[in-house]
Amino acid sequence: MIIRSFFEPFINVTLPSGIEEEDLDEEVEEFMEENDDVEAGVMFAIFTPIEVIHETYEGEQNLDEDTEVSRESVFEWGSVTKLLTWISVMQLVEEGQIDLEEDVTEYLPDGFLDDFEHDDPVTMIHLMNHQGGFQDEIADLFVTEIPEDYSLKDELEEEQPD
């Protein structure tokens, strides 16, 4: 921490958003005040592979129980997995391991989805924008018995785009 404190004046602390690190807590507090009717709470951290640079906890974890957000708060993943998937894909793009415009079948193992035919290739851009042609439907919403688990391969083969 002493080293970081010594170099602090020389470190660019303006974030990509244009907000200075020292102003983050105030910005989050203002956001929460402006959106308190739709946002319960927020927690985030800015970090490097070596250290946590900044942590913020604001608002309520559970409005029904009046529980403040803290470092120990646990939230359901919900739609956050989409963001994590996007970040992972973009890291693969940065590493040159995938091309967003390439037909996704180029990245599948040999023999996987051999019957998958399409006029135009399905790309990662299509998948990431929910335009891959896969049907979005609710099936077996209510079941009387626990269904058999499918492998990802079986599920994808059964639900190929039209």
- Mean of the per-residue pLDDT values for the chain? 77
Please report the pLDDT score of residue 90 as a whole number: 94
What is the pLDDT, as a whole number, of residue 1?
A: 42
- Residues 19-50: pLDDT tens digits? 787 888 888 888 888 887 777 888 888 888 88
Radius of gyration for the alpha carbons in the chain, expressed in angstroms and rounded: 22
What is the percent of the chain where pLDDT is above 70?
A: 77
Residue 60 to residues 25, 32, 46, 79, Cα–Cα distance (Å): 15, 10, 20, 19
pLDDT tens digits, 58-73: 888 877 778 888 989 8
Q: How confident is the model at residue 6 (pLDDT cuts 50, 70, 90)?
A: very low
CB 21 within 8 A of CB 13: yes
pLDDT for 4 equals 44
Helix, strand and coil in the chain, % to nearest 5: 35, 15, 50
Residue 15 pLDDT class (50, 70, 90 cuts): low
In the block, residue with structure tokens 């967003």: 100
Q: pLDDT digit string (tens) for 74-89?
A: 877 777 788 888 899 9
| Dihedral-angle region of residue 18 (phi above 0 means left; psi in -120 to 50 means alpha; beta otherwise) | left
List the alpha helices (DSSP H) in the chain. 2-7, 24-34, 80-94, 124-128, 152-158
Instruction: Identify which of 80, 69, 83 has the alpha carbon closest to the alpha carbon of residue 32.
Output: 69
Beta pairing class for 41-47 and 67-68? unpaired
Query: Which of these, 150, 153, 105, lies nearest to 127 by C-alpha position?
Result: 105
pLDDT of residue 146: 66
- The residue type at 100: L
| pTM of the complete model beyond 0.85 | no
